[in-house]
Amino acid sequence: MPRIQQLPLSVVTKIAAGEVIERPASVVKELLENSVDAGATRIDIDVEQGGAELIRVVDDGCGIEAEDLPLAFASHATSKLATADDLFHVRTLGFRGEALASIGGVAQVTLQSRAAGQSSGAEIVCHGGELSPVRAWNGSTGTRIEVRHLFFNTPVRRKFLRTAATEIGHVTEAVTKLALANPCLHLTVRHNGKLVHDVPASAALRDRIGIFFGSDVHDLLYVVEAKQAEVTLRGFVADPACERGTAKLQYFFVNGRCIRDRSLTHALQEAYRGLVMSGRYPVAFLFLDMPPEQLDVNVHPTKVEVRFRDSQAMHHLVFAALKDRLRRENLTARLEVPPSFGGVQRLGYTNRPEPLPEPPPWTLTPEAQPAPTLPFASNQQVHRDVSAPEETSKQDPAMEPSPLLPPGSFKAIQLYNTYLVLETPEGMLVIDQHALHERILFEQLKERLRFGQLESQRLLVPEPVELPAEQAARVLEHREALEELGLGIQDFGGGTVLLTCFPAILGRRSPQAVLQAVVDHLVTKDQVPSREALLNDLLSLMACHAAVRAGDRLTPEEIAALAEQRSLADDTHHCPHGRPTALLFSRQELERQFRRV
Ligand code: ADP
Ligand code: MG
36-76 residue pLDDT tens: 999 999 999 999 999 999 999 999 999 999 999 999 999 88
Q: Is 471 exposed, middle or buried (0-12, 13-18, 19+ CB in 10 A)?
A: buried
Q: From CA 500, how far away is CA 463, in angstroms rounded?
A: 7
Reported confidence tier of residue 274, pLDDT bands at 50, 70, 90: low
Q: Is 58 in the pocket of ligand 1 (CB under 6 A)?
A: no
The more confident residue out of 444 and 123 is: 123
Helix or strand holding residue 540 (H, E): helix 531-546
Question: Nearest bound ligand to CA 100?
Answer: 1
Paired with 300 in beta bridges are: none
Mutate to test the pocket of ligand 1, among 55, 79, 300 (most ligand atoms within 8 A of CB): 79
Q: Give the pLDDT of residue 330.
A: 53
Residue 142 CA: which ligand 1 atom is closest?
24
The pLDDT mean for the chain works out to 82
Q: From CA 280, how far away is CA 428, in angstroms rounded?
A: 34
**Residue 398 above 60 pLDDT?**
no
Helix or strand holding residue 513 (H, E): helix 511-524
Q: Is 35 in the pocket of ligand 1 (CB under 6 A)?
A: yes
Q: Whose CA is nearest to atom 20 of ligand 1?
A: 34
Q: Give the pLDDT of residue 463.
A: 86
Paired with 112 in beta bridges are: 123, 144
What angle do helix axes 205-213 and 164-181 make, rounded to 10 degrees? 170
Residues 219-264 pLDDT 10s? 999 999 999 999 999 999 999 888 898 999 999 999 999 999 999 9
Region at 568 (left for phi over 0; alpha for psi -120 to 50; beta for the rest): alpha
Q: Is 61 in the pocket of ligand 1 (CB under 6 A)?
A: yes
What mean pLDDT is predicted for residues 179-187? 96
Q: From CA 36, how far away is CA 30, in angstroms rounded?
A: 10
Q: Is 142 in the pocket of ligand 1 (CB under 6 A)?
A: no
The more confident residue out of 143 and 563 is: 143
**Residue 580 above 80 pLDDT?**
no
Q: Is 96 in the pocket of ligand 1 (CB under 6 A)?
A: yes
| Top-ranked range on mean pLDDT: pick from 117-126, 513-522, 537-546 | 117-126
What mean pLDDT is predicted for residues 154-169? 90
Mutate to test the pocket of ligand 1, among 43, 100, 178 (most ligand atoms within 8 A of CB): 100
Q: Whose CA is nearest to atom 17 of ligand 1?
A: 72
CA of 311 to the centre of ligand 1 (A): 30
Residues 332-371 pLDDT 10s? 333 333 333 232 223 222 233 333 333 333 223 333 333 3
CB-CB contact of 556 with 369 (8 Å):
yes
Q: What are the two backbone dihedrals, phi and then psi, of residue 580, each rounded to the nearest 5 degrees? A: -65, 145
Domains of the chain, first to last: 9-199 (3.30.565.10), 206-327 (3.30.230.10), 372-597 (3.30.1370.100)
CA of 97 to the centre of ligand 1 (A): 7
AA letter at 45: I
Q: From CA 57, how far away is CA 71, in angstroms rounded?
A: 19
Helix or strand holding residue 319 (H, E): helix 311-329
CA of 61 to the centre of ligand 1 (A): 11
Q: From CA 280, how far away is CA 245, in angstroms rounded?
A: 5
Q: Computed over its alpha carbons, how large is the radius of gyration of the chain?
A: 29
- Choose among 109, 101, 116: nearest CA to 63: 116
Paired with 138 in beta bridges are: none
CB-CB contact of 77 with 85 (8 Å):
no
Helix or strand holding residue 137 (H, E): strand 135-137
**Residue 490 above 70 pLDDT?**
yes
Residues 416-432 pLDDT 10s? 999 999 887 778 888 88
CA of 251 to the centre of ligand 1 (A): 25
Q: Is 17 exposed, middle or buried (0-12, 13-18, 19+ CB in 10 A)?
A: buried
CA of 116 to the centre of ligand 1 (A): 15
Residues 18-41 pLDDT 10s? 778 999 999 999 999 999 999 999
Scanning 203-273, the segments in alpha helix (DSSP H) are 205-213, 215-218, 262-271
Q: Give the pLDDT of residue 528.
A: 62
Q: Whose CA is nearest to atom 18 of ligand 1?
A: 34
- Choose among 67, 187, 80: nearest CA to 115: 67
Reported confidence tier of residue 435, pLDDT bands at 50, 70, 90: confident
Q: Give the pLDDT of residue 577.
A: 67
Q: Is 95 in the pocket of ligand 1 (CB under 6 A)?
A: yes
